[in-house]
Amino acid sequence: MFLDDTIAAIATPLGEGGLAVIRLSGANALAVADKSFSPVGKSSLKPSAAPTHTIQYGKIVRDGRDVDEVLVAVMRAPRTFTREDTVEITCHGGLLPAKLVLDTVLANGARAAEPGEFTRRAFLNGRLDLAQAEAVADLIHSRTELALRAANEQLAGKLSQRINQLRDDLMRTLAHVEAYIDFPEEDIPQETSAQLLARLERGVAFMDELLRTADEGQILRRGIRAAIVGRPNVGKSSLLNQLLGHDRAIVSPIAGTTRDTIEETANIRGLPVVFVDTAGLREAGDEIEREGIRRSHESLARAEFILHVLDASEPLTAADEKYLAEFAGKKRILVRNKIDLPRKLELPQGRAGSPLPADGAHGVTRPTVVDVCSVRGQGIEALKDAIKELVWAGEVRAEMLQVAISSRHQDALARARAAALLAIGSFRSGQHLELVAVDLRIAVNAVGEIVGKTTTEDLLDSIFSQFCIGK
């Protein structure tokens, strides 16, 4: 990857649509656009002659032939996303017009952009720090309003401000320690030593505060997986359709209709929940059903919680009791379906040997039970409330959205915290200040990774390879 290249890519989703946008960025973006664009009308100009942040009307031309009628937005450095000269060409939507315009600018000197290369340039040119750059991807992939708000907070630099303050405090402590290393004949005054320790302990407390947001941050970014399980024909597919708000799974009175797992994401009280409708759990009748049940067990293993669906119109069966006991170690909600029919199901009440032990017995929490009718939609809102309470207890506070960290941030903070605790221990036990300084440098570098003040090419490749092309 070379920063002196001019890169180009289609910045809008592929497929049919009203418009498509082709983005160019780099030192020669205006020159490449000049070769590709023919102005139409008296007031329209070539990109190199146009004032910054203006739109020009004309046509993309290749080999003397018109490719498409376009609008060209000209944005000169440094007031652009990448802080480089940037041109955005808006053409008619559809695969072919966008591809032909892109082919034209590539033939005239641009290079096809790699995934995330525009945002990578924004980071390398100081337009964004690394946490903000990651927020661009989070923004694009947001599946709920809460996830979108969290991404916007991070893009605005709310997390970065706190991380930079933490790093500055660690750096100041390190500078004090290194100053005393340079003058070994002077002991650190007791008052100064107490101040340095207090600052380090505040830093560790702040890292603990951030680390507590990791689970919520990951839920907002990637969602949480929920397996819908139960015997055949208890209403799992109907329940999935109700939670999604549209018909996704085939519903039939014939047991064993669902032969494979079906995955769909739903917005549950602002949280993205990936529901997996599984094949009914029973002894398989044929090879296809056996494979479906095997996949059901795989989905169960990967799920963070389960919705165990029971038929309220039938007495509890031996199979029901078996699965109640089998899933006791997982987060779960028991869903009693078909409550519009005469009720025959009675759940065990925490007796000895029961598949539903009393709350707290053997470290197992008695699950929440919700009554629904998945045909009429009765009880679905209560079920959504129970799901939200299970995966995200308490209110979703604005300040939590500002600092909800990702798994990468979590790893860096965990390393920084461990190093800071070692430094505190060494300081208190009177060990050589060189050992304290080593641990403090590790902590500073780990915190710096979050905002990109400590980076490697491998780290940047790993982050930006997950972006879409054109962003």
Residue 372 banded pLDDT, cuts 50, 70, 90:
very high
CA proximity to 121, closest of 73, 82, 64, 63: 82
Based on the fold, state whether residues 312 and 383 are members of the same structural domain: yes
Pair 421, 442: CB distance under 8 Å: no
Whole-number mean pLDDT of the chain?
85
Based on the fold, state whether residues 287 and 373 are members of the same structural domain: yes
Q: Is residue 398 part of a domain?
A: no
The token pair at 40 is: 């139409």
The mean per-residue pLDDT over the stretch 79-94 comes to 96
Based on the fold, state whether residues 247 and 270 are members of the same structural domain: yes
Based on the fold, state whether residues 182 and 273 are members of the same structural domain: no
Based on the fold, state whether residues 315 and 349 are members of the same structural domain: yes
Which residue is associated with the tokens 């209110």?
395
Q: Is residue 105 part of a domain?
A: yes
Based on the fold, state whether residues 345 and 386 are members of the same structural domain: yes
Based on the fold, state whether residues 387 and 353 are members of the same structural domain: yes
Q: Is residue 127 part of a domain?
A: no
Q: Is residue 28 part of a domain?
A: yes
Q: Is residue 126 part of a domain?
A: no
Final residue in a domain of this structure, among 113, 140, 156: 113
* pLDDT computed for residue 218 by the predictor: 82
Based on the fold, state whether residues 29 and 174 are members of the same structural domain: no
CATH number of the domain within which 57 lies: 3.30.1360.120
The mean per-residue pLDDT over the stretch 232-244 comes to 86
Based on the fold, state whether residues 262 and 330 are members of the same structural domain: yes
CA proximity to 240, closest of 271, 279, 185, 211: 279
Comparing 295-299, 313-317, 325-329, which segment has the lowest mean pLDDT?
295-299
249: pLDDT strictly greater than 80: no
Q: Provide the H-helix boundaries in 125-212.
A: 130-141, 145-155, 158-182, 190-211
Final residue in a domain of this structure, among 66, 83, 113: 113
32-72: per-residue pLDDT in tens?
999 999 999 999 999 999 999 999 999 999 999 999 999 99
The mean per-residue pLDDT over the stretch 84-96 comes to 95
Final residue in a domain of this structure, among 391, 413, 438: 391
C-alpha 226/C-alpha 245 separation (Å) is 16
CA proximity to 125, closest of 85, 157, 83: 83
Q: Domain range spanning residue 75?
A: 7-113
Based on the fold, state whether residues 233 and 363 are members of the same structural domain: yes
Residue 325 banded pLDDT, cuts 50, 70, 90:
confident
The mean per-residue pLDDT over the stretch 233-255 comes to 71
Q: Is residue 262 part of a domain?
A: yes
The mean per-residue pLDDT over the stretch 115-130 comes to 94
* pLDDT computed for residue 352 by the predictor: 38
381-401: per-residue pLDDT in tens?
999 999 988 888 666 666 677
Pair 295, 278: CB distance under 8 Å: yes
Strands 86-92 and 332-337: what pairing? unpaired
150-199: per-residue pLDDT in tens?
889 989 999 999 999 999 999 999 988 888 787 665 566 655 778 889 99
* pLDDT computed for residue 231 by the predictor: 83
Q: Is residue 118 part of a domain?
A: no
409-440: per-residue pLDDT in tens?
999 999 999 999 999 999 888 888 889 999 99
Q: Can you give the pTM of this predicted structure?
A: 0.76
At position 214, the amino acid (one-letter code) is A
Q: Is residue 430 part of a domain?
A: yes
Residue 245 banded pLDDT, cuts 50, 70, 90:
confident
Comparing 274-283, 359-368, 418-427, which segment has the lowest mean pLDDT?
359-368
Pair 469, 446: CB distance under 8 Å: no
Comparing 77-81, 113-117, 224-228, which segment has the lowest mean pLDDT?
224-228
Based on the fold, state whether residues 182 and 44 are members of the same structural domain: no
Instruction: Look at the chain and report how many structural domains it folds into.
Output: 3
Residues 6+ apart with CB under 8 A from 125: 3, 78, 82, 83, 84
Based on the fold, state whether residues 201 and 290 are members of the same structural domain: no
Residue 295 banded pLDDT, cuts 50, 70, 90:
low
Pair 193, 388: CB distance under 8 Å: no
Residues 6+ apart with CB under 8 A from 3: 121, 124, 125
